[in-house]
Structure formats: C-alpha cells, structure tokens
Structure 1
Amino acid sequence: MKLQTVLPLITLLLAGTAHAEAVQAPLVTRTALDALTVSWSGREPVDIFLSDDPDAKPDDAKLVSKEDRDGTETVKVAAGERAYFLLRGHKSGDLVRVAERVLPLQQGSNFRDIGGYPAADGKHVRWGLIYRSGGQPLLTDADVKQIQALQLANLVDLRSGEERVIAPTRIDGVPYQAVGYSMSALTGGSVPKNGQGVYRNLPTMMAPQLRLIFQDLLARKGAIAYNCSAGQDRTGFVTAMILSALVVPRATIVADYHLSTTYRRPEWEMPKIDTVAQANNPVAMFFAKYQQDPAAAIPQPLKEADGTPFLSHAFDEVDSRWGSVENYLDQEIGVTKLDLAALRAGYLE
C-alpha cells in the first residue's frame, strides 16, 4: 500500500488508541490478494486474534500470534475475505479491534468501512456496520459476492434519478432505498465548480436521504451502506453527520473525508457513455464530459486553493443555520437526544 494511504490511517487511528498504551496506532493493509498485514506500536507484547465476525471476542477468534513484539504480523486470508483483528496487550489485557479500511473490490470505487474511529466516552465506532461508497454499476461477480457477504440490511442510494438510470447498482439482494431528485439540484443546471456552492446546499438537499439513513441506523437490523457516484461529496457529507452524531472529533471526520482522494477509482464509477445515443440526455452528456477529460480520471484533492476542505462549507452552513450538528439532526432530520443516545449505545464499543 502506498505511503500516502498508510500515513492518514495511522494519524486517524492514533488519536483513538493512545488511551490503550499497550496497543497504539493499529493498522491493517493488504499486502497481497490473499494476505493482510496488521501493524501497531506499544509498550508490551501483543496477542493477535483473527475473525470474520466484527463483534468477536478473543475466546471466539483464532489466535494467530502470541506475545508478538515486533509490531507487525502478516496473515493469509481468502481473497476478498473480510477479516477483523483483535490486538490484546499480553500483560494489561488492553484490547483494540482493527480491520482493513477499504474493501479490495476489483471494479469498485471508494467502498469503505467507517469503523474504528475514536468517539464519545473513549469508545470507538464499531467495525462492520456502516459502509460508505461510490457508485457500483461495474462491479464484477466476485465484487458482488464480497459485498453480499457483508450481510447489508439496507443500501441507500444518494444519487439523483438520472444517475441511477445511467449507472444502476449491481448490488443485488439488499433492500434498496432512494429519494428522487434531479441532477440539476446539485449542478444548478450547469457544470458546477466543486466547493462552497455545492457544499452549502448539501444540508438541505440531503435531508430526505439522511432521514432514511438514520431510520435504518436506529432500526438496528444490520449493517448499512450508502453511496453517491464518487462516494466523496454527498457521501462525505452524510458520513460527516453520522460520525458527528457519534461524537467523533471533527478533525478525524475531515481526515476520513480526504481518504476519498486515495480510494476513488473513477473508471469504475460510471459506465462508458455513448454520446451519440445519449445526445439528448443532458445529465448523460454532463458525465460524458468528465469521461472525456483526462484530468477527471485522477481524483482531485477536496479542498480550496487555500487548503480549506470543501466539507468545511457544509459544516459552516449547519453551524450558521442550526447552531450545531445536534440541532440540525434534531430540527431537520428528526433525530432526538434520545435517538443520539441510542445510536451511541449501538454503534460504539
């Protein structure tokens, strides 16, 4: 894995594991199609357990290394297998769970788990329950099987009606939810310049979708996933609201948001558009322009020229109009303080 991928992950997780001195900065990277490497730092030997269950306890998991002192262990796994590691301080018993951040899909983009982040009361977001993603129109059969193995209870599509027609998801067998709206709500009828103009509109535009997602989260029927086309803007805002509800620090939320620049694969987000056949479809032609632009094949940093994250504009809109994310969730989305307490009880460990 590239260094620019590893370093943000270490930064993100270090803040959440410093309280458990035996195990600091745990990280899982895929070093081969059938191999994962878990790394960490700390003050004592570590026992490493492996399981395909995100809720597994050490007694229910496979011990793969005992009293490990070198800070790294590589484990063979089946290709596409979703694996969760438990790292336990051999002397202290301090326990940290960690998994691969992004699913290693063959033809997917930006499909990742938002578990593991530090949250309220010294806890962490549970792994294996909330996934964010880009579009899924070009998944391979193997990709579909890998996602089906997550046992998703709901998939919420944040895309416009036009996008969903042009690039329907390939994920089958999962309850599917969407709210119809036109792409013009996002673009204003023209090619938008990503940044303040788009992000200031997201708290209002994405409110119906957020209501669905929080209803699904509160129902606790199982893991959920949600996506837009790139998995970075609309999906980034929704993720920011979920993580804020779980009291994840805003700096960590923004760091997670910027991971889209690393994990996006634009070539798998939209089928190749036939500009002749779609000549009278303005939304199709809108995406065709991106496909014809070589620069669009490379994910661009999600920040202004001065370094301001685009996501900050959405937070500014929420803070200025509603006073806080909690007020926004209560007044606009219908998520009460009791709901927030239930979410934190269910999605933190």
Structure 2
Amino acid sequence: MSGIRSQRLLSGMIVAAVAGAASPALAIDDAVVTRIDSGHVAVEWKDADPVSVFVSAVPQADRKGARAVAKADRSGSVVVASQVNERRYFLLRDHGDRSVLRVAERVLPLEQGSNFRDIGGYKGADGKHVAWGKVFRSGAMPLLTEADYGMLEQLKISTIVDLRSTDERMIAPNMLDDRTGAIFISNDYSLKGLMANYGKGDGEYAYRGMDTFLKPQLKQVFASLLRNEGAVMYHCSAGQDRTGITTALIYSALGVDRATILKDYHLSTELRRPQFEMPPLDPADWPGNPIVPYYVASMKKPGGPKAEPLFTSKGNSHLAQFLEMVEKDYGSVTAYLDKELGVDADDIKRLKALYLE
C-alpha cells in the first residue's frame, strides 16, 4: 500500500501523544501503525518493558474506553484486525512507568483518495505531541468511492477548508461536505494569479509570494482550528504545495521541529495518487479554464500523471525555501502568523492547548 515505506522511515518520529507521563522521556519509543492488508495492521514499538495494546474508535479514548488486543507483550509488534473501512486508534501502555502513547495509521487507506492523512503524532512543544484525529489534510477528492465516504464519515469532520482556486473547484467539486454535513469554506481566486510566478526561471523559490497570496485561505484554516468545533480538514489539488505550506505553518505554531516538518512535507511525493485527483476531462467542456490543459497533458503521458519530487533541480526543498523567505521577511514563522494571519501569542497558546497532548 502507498505510504508504508514512508511510515517506516519516519517511525522514529511518528510517536503518538503521551498521557500522564512523568517526564518528557518516553519509555515506549518508535511506535508506528502500518497497514498489512485490507483487514490487518501491525502495531510496532520499542520498549524494554512489557507493553499492553488497546484499540478504540475514538482518538482520545482512555484505556477504560478501549479494548485490549495484547497484554504485557514483549515482542515489540502485534498484528491487529482492522478493516480498511474502520478508523482505529491504538493506546500502548508501558508496564514499567505506566505511561500511555496513542498512535494511528497516518495515511487513511482510501480506495480512490490521494494523500489523505492525519497530521497527528509528531513531537511538538513542551515534550507533548500533536493530537490524533483532530486535523486532516488531503489532495483533491473527486473520485471517492462509497466505501471511502463511509470511512471519512467516521472522522467527524466539522469543517472543510478548500484551498483550491475557483477553476479547480469547478472541474473537480468537493462532495465530502455534502456527505458528512461539514461546513465548507473556500475563497474564490483565479489559478492564473497563483501560477504567475510558480515555476518561473530556474525553479528556485517556487513558492515566492504564497505567504500573501494564500492569506484568505490560511486565515480560514487557523480560525477553524481556534474555534475548536470538531475535526478540521483542508486540502488543495495534490495535497502537497498549498496543503504542505498550511501544514508546515500549523506544525510550526505547535512547536514541531523543522526537520520533521520537512520530512512530513516530502512524504507527499510517495503518498499521492494523481490518477484520483482529477476526473476525466474534455477540454471542449471547459473553454478558458487554465488548469484543464495541464491536467489533460499529464493524463496523456505514458503511465498517466505522476507525482514529482518537491525539490528544485539543484536539490533544494521548495518548502525549506518558503520558510527561509518567511523568516527573512518577517523574522520568524510566528511573527508571520501574527502580522499576516492575525494569529498572535495568545492564539498560539490556545492552539497548543487544543492540539497537543
């Protein structure tokens, strides 16, 4: 399944939230959930002490609200029945210091989704970790199956922020809000404005100007997070550029380190499934739409559309360059959040209280 190798590469960072640990040091380490097949996942960890594993359909459930699937296990790995149409969260209880970790599949195993993942699990400020089941990111979703909708309904998404342009939304409408009852938020803009500088010259600093161009959408994402009315989901077309910038800003506000932010961003290359990001298109049906020729050309390539690595020809990360520009222009990411998005120190404190545990 797409994303399994990436999950293993990041297993040292995909450590779930700690509940009640006495110190920042975790007895259980390198916890990760990897899908084996349509009916099973492997829960793996590192710990010198025996560990009990519990499963729950609720992301923040405690041990009493979860079902035990392994007791005092020393093997470091258990295989658990978990259907692809079920969203499950796992609690690992250390029998040495009694600490509890939460962990889940980062990538949702959708039949026809692309790059849909939970942003939880990474270590943030004060030794805490980003909560699971509260914030999700994705690429476009025009070809979701009934089974996919069934799984996504379990996420209890209350707000969907569509980062895409009017041109993109027109040809690949988002139907998830209709199926889940979530509030749908978008801002109208032309893709021509977004693409004015993207990919120009030698490709360096390709995200130049995105800090101001995406202000309306970014403000909506952070406002939704601060309202705390339920799970928030945001997406663009590929779930990598605009969505990657948005995720990086959220992680930065929560105190996730830069190396982790960049590695998570670059997971998109492997986790994308471009064939499900856009329905079949006839250019004659969309005269004047600037994105249609691009998608039609990509679909005609041998093997169909493919995800390209998010690096310049010189090997520089697009996101690293964007964050470099933000820090040069504003002094820091937090200063940018305050000046341009209106997310001040009190808001960041609230975000940490809401989304770290």
Between stretches 88-97 and 278-287, larger displacement belongs to 278-287
Query: C-alpha separation between the residues in 2 aligned to 1:193 and 1:299?
Result: 21
Match of 1:60 in 2: 65
Q: How does 1:1-349 map to 2 (within 5 A)?
A: 1=1, 4-13=5-14, 19-171=24-176, 172=178, 173-188=181-196, 195-294=203-302, 297-349=305-357
* Residues 151, 287 of structure 1: alpha-carbon distance in 2 compared, 3 angstrom cutoff: same
Q: When the two structures are superposed, what TM-score results if normalisation uses the length of structure 2? A: 0.92
Q: Could you give the per-residue CA deviations for residues 298-336 of structure 1, whole angstroms, max 9, x where no partner exists?
A: 222111233321101210121111110110000000011
Closer, same or farther: CA 295–42 of 1 in aligned 2, 3 Å? same
Alpha-carbon distance in 1 for matches of 2:201, 2:80 = 44
CA-to-partner distance for each residue in 1:196-250, whole Å, 9 max, x for gaps?
3531221111111111111110100010000000000000000000000001001
Any idea what the Cα deviations from partners look like across 1:111-140, whole Å, max 9, x if unmatched?
Answer: 000000000000000000000100011111
* Amino acid in the other structure paired with 2:11: I
The separation in 2 between residues aligned to 1:184 and 1:8, in whole angstroms, is 37
SS at match of 2:53: strand
For 1:43 and 1:313, locate their aligned partners in 2 and report how far apart those are by CA, in whole Å: 40
Tell me how far apart the structure 1 counterparts of residues 126 and 267 of structure 2 sit (CA, whole Å). 25
Letter of the structure 1 residue corresponding to residue 331 of structure 2: G
Cα separation, partners in 2 of 1:228 and 1:34, compared to 1, 3 Å: same
2:336 match: secondary structure: helix
Report Cα offsets for 1:177-213 as digits up to 9, x if no partner. Answer: 0011100122118976895353122111111111111
Shift of 1:14: 6.0
Distance 2:12 2:182 in 1: 34
Relative distance call for 1:259 and 1:189 in structure 2 (3 A) is: closer
Q: CA–CA distance in 2 between the matches of 1:55 and 1:300? A: 36
- Structure 2 residue matching 1:176: 3-state secondary structure: strand
1:190 to 1:91, Cα distance in 2 relative to 1, 3 A: closer
* Structure 1 residue 346 displacement after superposition: 0.7
Q: Indicate the RMSD between aligned Cα atoms, in angstroms.
A: 2.1
- Partners in 1 of 2:106 and 2:186 — Cα distance? 25
CA distance in 2, matches of 1:230, 1:217: 22
Deviation (angstroms), 1:142:
1.4
What SS does the corresponding residue of 1:329 show, helix, strand or coil?
Answer: helix
Query: Is 1:318–1:328's contact at 8 Å kept on the other side of the alignment?
Result: yes
Q: Provide the rounded CA distance (Å) in 2 between the counterparts of 1:194 and 1:73.
A: 48
2:204 & 2:213 partners in 1: Cα distance? 14
**SS at structure 2 position matched to 1:198:** coil
**What is the CA–CA distance in structure 1 between the aligned matches of 2:339 and 2:217, rounded to whole Å?**
15
Equivalent residue letter for 1:8: L
Instruction: Please give the alpha-carbon distance, in whole angstroms, between the structure 1 residues aligned to 2:91 and 2:164.
Output: 36
SS in 1 for 2:217: helix
CA distance in 1, matches of 2:247, 2:198: 26
Moved more, 193-202 or 63-72: 193-202
| Kept in 1: contact 2:8–2:32 (CA 8 A) | no
Check 1:198–1:214 CA distance in 2 against 1; reply closer, same or farther (3 A cut): same
Listed one character per residue, the Cα deviations across residues 6-55 of structure 1 (whole Å, up to 9, x for unaligned) are 33321423699895442110010111111111001111110101101111
> What is the aligned length?
349
- The change in CA–CA distance for 1:237 and 1:194 in structure 2 (over 3 A counts) is farther
Moved more, 89-98 or 261-270: 89-98
Percentage of pairs with the same residue: 44
State TM-score, norm by structure 1: 0.94
For 1:83, give the aligned amino acid.
R
